[in-house]
Structure 1
Amino acid sequence: MTRTVTDTPSGLRGAGWALAVLGAATLVVVALTTPWRALPADAPPVAPDPARDFTAAQIARSESFDAVVSAPGYLSLGLTLIVAGALVGTPLGARLLGGLRGPWWLRVLLGVLLLSAAVEVLRWPLGMWSETYLREFGLSTQGWPAWSADRVKNIAVRTGLLAIMVLAVVALARRCRRWWAPAAIGAFALTVLASFAYPVVIEPIFNDFTPMPAGRLRDDLLAMAARDGVPVEDVLVADASRRTTALNAYVSGFGATRRIVVYDTLLRAPGDQVELVVAHELGHAKAGDVLYGTLVGGLAAACGACLLYLLTSAGPVRRRAGVASPADPRAVGLVMGVLTLATVLSGPAQNLVSRHIEARADAHALDLTGEPVVFAAMQKRLAITNISDLSPSAIEYLIYVSHPTTPQRIAMARSWARLNGMREP
């Protein structure tokens, strides 16, 4: 039998006040930590212009690639929203999970597994569709067995984290009326824990890492990090070439676990361009972007817990979803639907902040290396190799684009060069 803990007006008011306070705190932290201007106010403005840096053939290839991958991408997004909306607005989830038997916690875990599996089965053909275009344009180097294995691992990680969250929500709802308070604390703590655990627990699931061989490039990268005042334990090479031809690098971890990670595909680029990519990533570490991002993510997760309480405690929402309370294991679908919608709807705001943070890291790379010409050449190499979208539509820019476009980044390098009296790319 399901134990039902009903909400009270005071509980709803408490959750509402907590949501308001946490939401305000989140906005304040975002406002104070986001670099709304990457360059000084007196930096000369330079308009982005793809035609200035890319040939007509390169622009056409970018547009062709974007056109073909957009279809499965938008369909996948639409499918996600439709399923989430159905789980929140209809009794679909409760009916699908109503036949499960066993202890409440087992029904919750099975419910998360079954609903996640159903969604992934629907999305699998769309993933294959997109993968065929990645291969056609030379971005993917995987066979279907390796692609499937990586996709299954990704699904397993996401489903595992989701199961922990949903199980915690139902367990708390069964124990206390005002479960929003421990849920908010737990959501914050889980976000922080996941951020710290990701480099040592999750990353090795998807890539093998080997120390970069001793040599000039490794010495230069470590020297640049030291000059920048960013302690780095090691320089690692990720075996990205087993799945892609794309170029990338990043700085991962905190304190004793911080390391520079370079895709093995990037090692084919000239050393000075590799250094600029790493200089950008050092900018994130220098500014504490991961730490501030973790703080914002934790506060947003706490807000989400309060919002989840308010929505799942609302009578109309519960009636439409066909459940008596979030303590009912059949409420798994409702909880998953709310979490999915919140994640998708918050995406544009996250992208807006991310673009400014990435622009600051670009400015940091220019300040650290003093090489705007090399910076522009590196950005062109990245865009051509990764087939970046040079002129995304307004909708794509809003929903998907988490970095400035390549023309915007090159334009900033030109502005930086003019500001500092150096040769313009």
Structure 2
Amino acid sequence: MSGERGENTADAPVSAARASNPPPQPEQAPRGRARPRVAAAVASVVLFAAVGVVLAVTTPWNPLPGRVPGGHVAPDPALDFTPAQIERSRAFDAALAPPAYAGLLIGLALVLVLGLTPLGARFVGWATARVRWWPLRVAVAALLLTAVVRVAGLPFDAWSESVLRRYGLSTQSWASWLTDQLKSLGITWVIWTVALALLYVLVRRLPRWWWAGAAAGGFLLVVAASFAYPVAVEPLFNRFHSLPAGPLRSELLAMAERDGVPVTDVLVADASRRTTALNAYVSGFGSTRRIVVYDTLLKNTPPERVESIVAHELGHAKNDDVLHGTLIGALAVSGGICLLYVLLTSPRLQRRAGVDGGGVGAARSAALVLALVTVATQVGAPVQNLISRHIEARADAHSLDLTRDPVTFVSMQHELSVRNISDLRPDPVEYVLWRTHPAGPQRIAMARDWARMHGVPEPPPLNRR
């Protein structure tokens, strides 16, 4: 939580190809042009309103409903973490913040310069001037733009990686790290090429109403990508194997059965090739839904703690969080595409971006599309993070309900926070921009609230001074 018709002479060879395949011209009648723009704007408002209503109704704003005897426990890192652990968390966050903020600002500035000035259009026009076949132009434009943005961010990514190495979280060699960067770039290029190619097909065939087809297509692509991600993308970065037969596997499968969650397998990811961090997750849905635990989690971690974190993942599966998030995301993408049409067909914006000659159907407009999508994604990120934190809190409550063992839950959250060097006192800005999970002290405080509500012994403070 990227040969055109109607391009100018610097963009493509002139001649017969253009004559036989004329570009879609801008609408001449203001009323004719305004009608689809108004329809797209209305559709965008309706879709975003629908997303807002669904989120307002379905988000677990209070993941632990009910009265807490004695009142809610206030999150307090000092109760469970030593001063050295708190200081290490603070220092680690302080070391990661500069490359994170710098990378974000430089990346946004670059895509805005490329997309909202003629620079991006001229760059794509120059690079594709000798390419006659328009789908290949789109592919070249997507490759060049995503590569430029990735290369610009690479120094900041390397800076962050050096911090992870210094704190012992990364186990990768630089060659392995660079290989992962190239894989990520390749995936980004494929996504942008497919998306832009389909978009331009619709623009050429339905120059006034392409937004309707693109909105429907965007919805389907998001759903298809979420379904395919576990089996098509995750294996590019990790190898997986079934958790071997034994008491832990049997207990995890039995726990899933008690929970009413159909799970045929629990997979182990070879995360230790890259990190020492602990983690588990659920991805996909339907036949691709999988619960995955890091191999680092299985090393020297008591079985009951593994069961606690897997119970959290079962909470996601039981509530169909991946499917729910996919459908909400698909609706938001559809609304965003309708809004994209309104912006892309603005004559003023086209002139500013230097694409008023070829229009939206030209590969020269790819930089403008990239800029608008990037800004929209960044604007939507705080909302996604807010919803995600509440969904994660609900999964924590599910773990407590399933295991009925708040003491183990607290010890597991403590271990996760220490091993992953999680930020124990998140900065408010960072919390909004990047935090998808509640902070460790918040999760521990919830476990103590749960214990009070259910009349079981409250987990004692772990930092016994």
> Please, what TM-score do these two structures have when normalized by structure 2?
0.90
Deviation at 1:40, TM superposition (A): 1.3
Distance 1:365 1:183 in 2: 40
- Specify the alignment match of 2:426 in structure 1: 392
Correspondence for 1:370: 404
CA distance in 2: counterparts of 1:4 and 1:69, whole angstroms: 48
Q: In the alignment, which residue of structure 2 is the partner of 1:239?
A: 270
Q: Deviations over 1:57-78 (max 9, x none)?
A: 0000001110111111111100
Match runs of 1:286-305 below 5 Å: 286-305=318-337
Secondary structure in 1 aligned to 2:233? helix
Q: Which residue of 2 aligns with 1:318?
A: 350
Partners in 1 of 2:290 and 2:110 — Cα distance?
39
Count of aligned positions: 425
Is 1:194 aligned with 2:194? no
Determine the structure 2 residue equivalent to 1:83.
110
1:382 maps to 2:416: yes
User: How far, CA to CA, are the matches of 1:258 and 1:296 in structure 2?
Assistant: 18
Measure the CA separation in 2 of the matches of 1:396 and 1:339. 22
2:30 corresponding residue in structure 1: none
How far 1:5 sits from its partner (Å)?
A: 4.2
Is the CA contact 1:312–1:326 (under 8 Å) kept in the aligned structure 2?
yes
State whether structure 2 residue 452 is matched by structure 1 residue 418. yes
Amino acid at match of 1:312: L
User: 1:360 matched to which residue of 2?
Assistant: 394
Correspondence for 2:310: 278
CA distance in 1, matches of 2:282, 2:432: 26
Q: Partner residue of 1:33?
A: 58
Name the TM-score, length of structure 1 as normaliser. 0.98
- Secondary structure in structure 2 of the residue aligned to 1:35: coil
Q: Secondary structure at the match of 2:181?
A: helix
Q: Please list every run of 5 or more consecutive structure 1 residues that lacks an aligned counterpart in the other structure.
A: none
Q: Which residue in 2 is equivalent to 1:56?
A: 83
Matches within 5 A, 1:133-282: 133-176=163-206, 177-268=208-299, 269-282=301-314
Mapped partners of 2:283, 2:61: distance in 1: 24
Report whether the alignment pairs 1:9 with 2:9.
Answer: no
Deviation at residue 171 of structure 1 after TM alignment: 2.1
CA distance in 2: counterparts of 1:221 and 1:185, whole angstroms: 39
Moved more, 103-112 or 399-408: 103-112
Extract structure 1 runs of 4+ deviating beyond 4 A: none
Give 3-state SS (helix, strand or coil) of 2:64's partner.
Answer: coil
Who is 2:47 aligned against?
22
User: Helix, strand or coil for the counterpart of 1:282?
Assistant: helix
Q: Give the CA deviation at 1:403.
A: 0.6
Contact 2:146/2:188 (8 A) holds in 1: no
Q: What is the alpha-carbon distance in structure 1 between the residues aligned to residue 26 and residue 81 of structure 2?
A: 62
What's the offset of the Cα at 1:339? 0.8
| Alpha-carbon separation, structure 2, partners of 1:319 and 1:4 | 17
Instruction: Give per-residue Cα distances to partners, 1:257-296, cap 9 Å, x unaligned.
Output: 3332111000021100000110000000101111110110
Q: Distance in 2 between matches of 1:158 and 1:278?
A: 30
Q: Please, which moves more after superposition, 42-51 or 68-77?
A: 42-51
The change in CA–CA distance for 1:5 and 1:414 in structure 2 (over 3 A counts) is: farther
Task: Give the CA RMSD over aligned residues.
Answer: 1.1
Q: Are the equivalent residues in 1 in contact too, given 2:284–2:323 (CA < 8 A)?
A: no
Q: Which amino acid aligns with 2:176?
A: A
Q: 1:52 to 1:78 in 2, by over 3 A?
A: same
Gaps of 5+ in 2: 7-22, 28-32, 460-465
Looking at structure 2, the residues matched to 260 and 351 of structure 1 have their Cα atoms a distance apart, in angstroms, of: 22
Q: Secondary structure at the match of 2:61?
A: coil
1:183 counterpart letter in structure 2: A
State how far apart, in whole Å, the 2-side matches of 1:253 and 1:91 are: 40
Describe the superposition over 1:391-414 as per-residue Cα deviations: whole angstroms up to 9, x where unpaired. Answer: 111100110101111111001001
Read off the aligned partner of 2:385 and give its amino acid letter. N
1:170 is displaced (CA, Å) by: 2.0
| Alpha carbons 1:34, 1:356 under 8 Å: kept | yes
